[in-house]
Amino acid sequence: MHPDTPEPMAEAVISLANLRHNARLVRKKAGVPLMAVVKANAYGHGATEVARALEEEGVSHFGVANIREALELRRGGGLEPSASVLAFSSPLPSQIPHYLEHDIEMTLCGISNLRAAEESASAAGRTIGVQLKVDTGMGRLGLPPEEALQVLCELPRCPHVELRGIYTHFADSTGERAFTRRQLEAFTAFCREYEHASGRTVLKHAANSGAILSEPGATLDMVRPGILLYGARPSAESEETLGLRPVMQLEARVVFLKTVRAGTTISYGRTWSAPGTRRIATIAAGYADGYHRALSGRGTVAINGRPYPQVGTVTMDQIMVDLGEESDVRIGDRAVLFGAGGMSVDQLADRAGTISYELLCAVSGRVKRVFR
């Protein structure tokens, strides 16, 4: 009797135990509450399951990219109603009613933003929670401090808008520390000025994963870890690892084996030829699954605990590996493309000339997530 669903060719095995372990280490390092960054499907790990596990560890603030991700988390995450969900992107006016209906915190980026929020909230007879984004040097979203202060001065005229936080984002928290400190100084000065003038305190946060490791003074009231939660480094320059554990292991099945003679070429462009008689394994994962084409001839996979070089050009659906002259590898064996027992995602990213964030986010929807 065959199963109703065919066995998956590729799986991303997600260790929720390692995720919880990492969250505890990051919280201990920072000494303040966490806003867990679960955007982009929790960096490819599965936002619903990740958020639920982190909530069990006491995390009550979550950050996502936009309103669509926020709604997916609210509707499918099983989060407590009291959990805070902040959408980092500046919204379109037409999206604001969804923030109200599902209690999603909106990023406030300007006067027009504020007025649209007040108009929607007033019409609905509700209050909308917002967090002001101050641009101190990233140049992506938010207002420079002097313009951000004008927005705050407008707030008393918007009774249906509740300011729940002020935040900024560092442009180079793992590299040019002097610039990061200038950003931090500008942000904290802005917050002091507002709190003094308004007579109230407000939730302040700035530190991403890189700053959690490198800038102790940036922790403020809360930190926003992303990549650290998933057990990878913020950058190749990051020396401190905290004892983090990788959360994702990307695996795929061996689906074909053959013996080739010396001189036989493999894959598109004929970029690799066998130096002698070789056993070649075809593995059912390619760039459509998240194994980057830039890794062609640069990666190593582990099968039954042994490393083997990936050879030839990475194709859309498969890669090939050189098993040597003889091998006991069989069809159906699992190959670890990255993760425990194979190359780390950081090592693989270095070889691809990119960052671990990109490799993790690239693991596509046709790769089954398995939570353990």
Say how far apart CA 99 and CA 96 lie, in whole Å: 5
Please, is 81 exposed, middle or buried when counting C-beta atoms within 10 Å of its C-beta (0-12, 13-18, 19+)? Answer: exposed
Other CB atoms closer than 10 Å to residue 153's CB: what's the count? 13
Q: Which of 39, 194, 287, 357 is catalytic?
A: 39
Cα 107 from Cα 3, distance rounded (Å)? 47
Beta partners for residue 309, in sequence order: 300
Catalytic residue chosen out of the listed positions 133, 268, 287, 291 = 268
CA distance 308 to 261: 18
CA distance linking residue 61 with residue 106, whole number of Å: 13
Give the angle 246-140-38 at the CA atoms, nearest 5°. 30
Query: Do residues 347 and 355 make contact, with C-beta atoms less than 8 angstroms apart?
Result: no
CA 155 to chain centre: 32
Give a three-class secondary structure readout of 75-119: HHCCCCCCCEEEECCCCCHHHHHHHHHHCCEEEECCHHHHHHHHH
Structural tokens at position 153: 């001065």
Q: Is 368 a catalytic residue?
A: no
Give CA–CA dist 330/279, Å, rounded: 11
CB-based burial, 218-253: b 16+ in 10 Å, e otherwise: bbbbbbbbbbbbbbbbbbeebeeeeebbbbbbbbbb
Strands 300-303, 105-108: pairing kind:
unpaired
Can you tell me the distance from the alpha carbon of 354 to that of 332, in angstroms, rounded to the nearest whole number? 30
The CA distance from 27 to 36, in Å, is: 11
Residues whose CB falls within 8 Å of the CB of residue 66, separated by 6 or more in sequence, listed in order: 87, 88, 89, 91
39 is catalytic: yes
Which are the catalytic amino acids? 39, 268
